[in-house]
């Protein structure tokens, strides 16, 4: 096989690998978004300790914002995916970087603190290129979020106190089961 033909074949294989990796990443975000859209929403006042719940509300930051990697935008959370090509192996390695600062989600019935090391965002990217994709969550945004509920046992005195804000609700996640969030349109 002559060098020109070999170059064309290798370019095609690498290009196909990049396209497949890009489609797979987009497919994951779309799948997560579909799951979030189908999840039954629970008002914050009706959260149950130890349960997985989906809540919808407005974001209120509780601390200093983080700066996203690509757009350098101050935000509550960001999710950046980079896909550097490894030409020797003819594959792509996808790296995901997620950061967030604690925040509250507020609905008509109360507020819940969201406190975890990271959140998986599936809203539309604010920056997108051939080798990267970045999503951000801004203070004041209306979001839909799914995570594990943890209620403060010291404040479990009455339903009335919960509605007045004395009852502490937290939404958490882990590396294995991260928080899932999407911006409401």
100-128 residue pLDDT tens: 999 999 999 999 999 887 888 989 999 99
Please report, rounded to a whole number, the percentage of residues in the chain having pLDDT higher than 70.
Answer: 68
Q: Which two tokens stand for residue 53?
A: 């719940």
Residue 100 to residues 55, 78, 103, 138, Cα–Cα distance (Å) = 18, 7, 9, 11
Q: Taking the model in full, what pTM does it have?
A: 0.72
Please give the residue that has the higher pLDDT: either 89 or 163: 89
Strand partners of residue 145: 55, 181
The H or E element that residue 5 is part of is helix 3-38
pLDDT tens for 2-19 read 544 433 433 333 333 333
pLDDT tens for 143-159 read 999 988 888 765 444 45
Short-list 148, 166, 149, CA closest to 157:
166
The sign one gets for the Cα dihedral 147, 140, 117, 120 is positive
pLDDT of residue 90: 58
Confidence grade of residue 37 (pLDDT, cut at 50, 70, 90): confident
pLDDT of residue 1: 54
Q: What is the mean pLDDT of residues 123-149?
A: 92
pLDDT of residue 46: 92
pLDDT of residue 177: 67
Short-list 175, 168, 122, CA closest to 145:
122
């Amino acid at each position: 096989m002559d060098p020109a033909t070999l170059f064309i074949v290798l370019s095609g294989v690498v290009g196909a690998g990049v396209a497949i990796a890009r489609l797979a990443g987009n497919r994951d975000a779309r799948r997560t978004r579909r799951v979030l859209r189908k999840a039954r929403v629970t008002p914050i006042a009706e959260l149950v300790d130890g349960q997985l719940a989906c809540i919808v509300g407005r974001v209120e930051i509780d601390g200093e914002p983080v700066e996203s990697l690509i757009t350098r935008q101050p935000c509550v959370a960001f999710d950046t995916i980079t896909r550097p090509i490894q030409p020797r192996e003819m594959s792509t390695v996808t790296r995901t970087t997620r950061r967030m600062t604690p925040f509250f989600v507020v609905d008509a019935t109360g507020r819940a603190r969201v406190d975890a090391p990271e959140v998986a965002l599936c809203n539309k990217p604010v920056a997108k290129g051939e080798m990267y994709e970045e999503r951000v969550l801004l203070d004041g945004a209306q979001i839909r979020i799914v995570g594990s509920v943890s209620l403060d046992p010291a404040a479990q005195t009455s339903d009335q106190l919960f509605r007045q804000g004395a009852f502490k609700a937290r939404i958490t996640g882990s590396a294995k089961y991260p928080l899932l969030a999407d911006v409401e349109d």
